[in-house]
Every structure is written in C-alpha cells, then in structure tokens.
C-alpha cells in the first residue's frame, strides 16, 4: 500500500525541482488542449468541483483530508492552514486544496500510478509501464528536452507538456531512467507549487 502523504510530499518536491527547468524557454515545450486528454476514454474535469470527478470515475474511492500548515513569504508563524483533499481511486489519485476547511476547493493534481488507468491523447493510448517511444511523435519538442535531461542526469526525469487552456497546468510524464518507461502521469496545477 502506498503511503499517500509520502507520495504527495515526494511529488511536490519533484514538481518544484522540475519547474525550475521549465523556465528556460516556454516555447521549447509542446502544448495540448484539455479536450485532447482522456482517462479511460472519459473526458477529464479540470475544475474546482470534486463532485464532477466522482461522477466521471465512480464512487469506489477513499477520501482523506490532510491539514498542512504552510508559511508564505511575509506571513507570521500563525498563518492560516492549508487543507488537501485526496480522492484515491486505487492508482488514480485526484487532489484538491483549500485555504479554509469549508472553503472553495481548487484542483491540485491528477496522479496516475497504475496501468489500469489509460491516458488517451490524439487517439494514442498511454499507460504506466509504456516505453517512452510512445511520447515521441505526440510531443516531439518536449520529448527531445526530456531525452537530453535523462542522458545528462542519469536519473528519473519529468517530461513537461503545457495544457494551453489553463496557464498554470502541466501534463507531466515521470520517466524511469533505468527502464526508459513511464513511471507516473500527472496533471499538475503549478500555481500551488510556489
């Protein structure tokens, strides 16, 4: 069983580190429209309503709320808490955040870690464990940057694709260095990683 708190913490650190690389030249990366992204042939919802996600993926999930105290620049030690709401569909984790326990929720990320959840983009099916070659024709610019990073760092890297309908969202493919296979797929809100 995956510890979701540790997984979230690891994912947040990885996104923060990989976002530094993104800033080199935004036009160097590929982009995609949200309408082109489906999971198990279902159009994803990139919005702030968890009920829409539950309608898409069903009632078979576990739900957890995590309260985190985060300090932002200039804030005092007693700053307001930040709440994370996890919806775990066993291999598909969808996370929302809120600045108030009963306040508005904002989509943080979709995280696919199981091959039973298949991402469809432009009629190409992509799943966990696929060789990175499935990404080359779909996202040639992002693929080239990822290959250079993979060879340079000799460790796992993220391939970035911008979701053009939303300034702050990225489609991320975690690539395992040793196997050259897709380890995870994330749709990430970059506004919540600063």
pLDDT in tens, 144-177: 999 999 999 999 999 999 998 776 889 999 999 9
Tell the residue number behind the tokens 């982009």, with chain if given: 31
Beta-carbon contacts of 128 under 8 Å, excluding residues fewer than 6 positions away, are 112, 113, 114, 115, 117, 182, 183, 184, 185
The structural domain count of the chain equals: 1
- Give percent above pLDDT 90 in the chain: 52
Q: How many angstroms from the chain centroid is the CA of residue 74?
A: 28
The residues near 34 (Cβ < 8 Å, ≥ 6 apart) are 44, 46, 163, 165, 166, 169
158 or 82, higher pLDDT: 158
- The pLDDT, as a whole number, for residue 25 is 59
Please report which confidence band the pLDDT of residue 69 belongs to, taking 50, 70 and 90 as the band edges: confident
pLDDT at 127: 98
Supply the pTM of this predicted model: 0.81
State yes or no: pLDDT of 22 exceeds 50.
no
What's the domain range around 47? 4-193
| For residue 47, pLDDT beyond 90 | no
């Amino acid at each position: 069983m995956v510890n979701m708190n540790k997984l979230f913490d690891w994912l947040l650190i990885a996104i923060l580190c990989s976002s530094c690389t993104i800033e080199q030249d935004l036009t160097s990366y590929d982009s995609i429209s949200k309408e082109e992204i489906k999971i198990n042939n279902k159009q994803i919802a990139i919005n702030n309503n968890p009920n829409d996600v539950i309608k898409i993926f069903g009632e078979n999930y576990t739900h957890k709320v995590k309260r985190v105290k985060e300090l932002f620049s200039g804030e005092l030690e007693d700053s307001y808490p930040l709440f994370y709401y996890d919806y775990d569909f066993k291999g598909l984790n969808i996370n929302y955040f809120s600045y108030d326990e009963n306040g508005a929720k904002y989509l943080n990320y979709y995280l696919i870690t199981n091959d039973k959840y298949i991402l469809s983009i432009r009629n190409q099916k992509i799943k966990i464990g696929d060789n990175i070659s499935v990404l080359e024709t779909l996202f040639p610019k992002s693929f080239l940057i990822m290959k250079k990073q993979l060879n340079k760092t000799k460790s796992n890297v993220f391939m970035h694709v911008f979701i053009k309908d939303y300034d702050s969202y990225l489609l991320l493919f975690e690539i395992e260095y040793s196997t050259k296979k897709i380890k995870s797929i994330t749709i990430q809100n970059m506004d919540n990683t600063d």
